[in-house]
A and B are shown apart, each in its own frame.
Chain A
């Protein structure tokens, strides 16, 4: 389980990024809820274990008293009544009822004892002698059994809670140490992949926009160069023509001086200007 490899098999798309983010959020909510549940159950669990400890001690005392009262009966009746009682047991007078208690979603059963009316298996017990002791003994044992029933409820709750707490803690740990890191890894992976794609896309776009610019740039420079060349050529030709014309005029030295002057004047001016320009 290396950090980078431990992620879910998803395609790095924006949709799965959204899904993963929702999943992470859900996992975090579930984690906090389960954690709270586990804490509530543990609190209850500790309370129950404390009460079990107390109840066990109490049971020891109660059973001792009950045994003593049974010894009294044996003494009073003057013989062992065990066999007689075992044989006459028919229908339970002392019965259980279960009710439930809800502790953060866990149903904890609790036993409740009740006495049925009308059936008494031991009506004849102790009829001869020791009836009073038998009666007292029955009461003592009834109290003892009530204590035992209470203890049994606690114990059942203990067993169930123990199991439930284990399951809940396992879930909490699974979410905390497996699901959340894996989802985070997946999100990281998707993000890095998306970033990579973005960079690629940006680079591609740059390439695309650079290409026509280059073309245009090249064309422009060529155009500018051409124009200059043309201008220079034109100027040269003009100057050449003017010079020739001047030479011709000087050679002729002839009649239409004014006309030549008139034409030469502006031409000269223009030529001078042009010359200046070129020199510049």
Chain B
């Protein structure tokens, strides 16, 4: 069971997304860079040239390594590239949220959580 200590200091959001999504979310004020020695950003901009390993590594870092992130936002088309990782991720913290991007409309069928919802209700 998740204990109180597990999520009480998770106060940031993290983003893995295309440039527009990240820009917009940073404008909302979620961007955070940790203290200089190992300044880690809580966002990753993915374009056509970013390889899957980098995305996976960032996903891994945001979900398991960093303990100060409460929500990980990931564009759905990027989540598709690391679909196996997103689908096998079942922990409650941080919550992984698939968001639509400008160029890729949101498809509820692909969403890992919505699929679980559907499966549970036998649809």
Contact = CB atoms under 8 A, between A and B. Distances in A.
A91 interface: yes
B63 interface: no
B10 A52 contact: no
Nearest to B96: A155
Given A56-B111, A109-B7, A134 B31 contact: no
Given A81-B23, A82-B23, A98 B7 contact: yes
Interface in A81-102: 81-82, 85-86, 89-98, 100
A219 to B, nearest CB: 82
Nearest to A121: B31
B70 A152 contact: yes
A96 B11 contact: yes
A96 B90 contact: no
A63 B99 contact: yes
Interface residues of B, number: 50
B2 A109 contact: yes
Interface residues of A, number: 56
Interface stretch (B49-57, B78-86, B114-122): B114-122
Given A82-B19, A86-B43, A109-B2, A122 B24 contact: no
A60 B26 contact: no
Contacts of B31: 85-86, 89-90, 92, 121
A185 B96 CA distance: 48
Contacts of B90: 159
B46 interface: no
Interface in A75-131: 80-82, 85-86, 89-98, 100, 107, 109, 111, 115, 121-122, 125
Contact of B29 (A64, A69, A93, A155): A93
Interface of B: 2, 4, 7-8, 10-13, 19-33, 41-43, 45, 70-71, 73, 90-93, 95, 97, 99-102, 105-106, 108, 111, 113-114, 116-117, 120-121
Give the 3 A-B CB pairs with smallest separation, nearest first. Answer: A89-B31, A93-B29, A141-B28
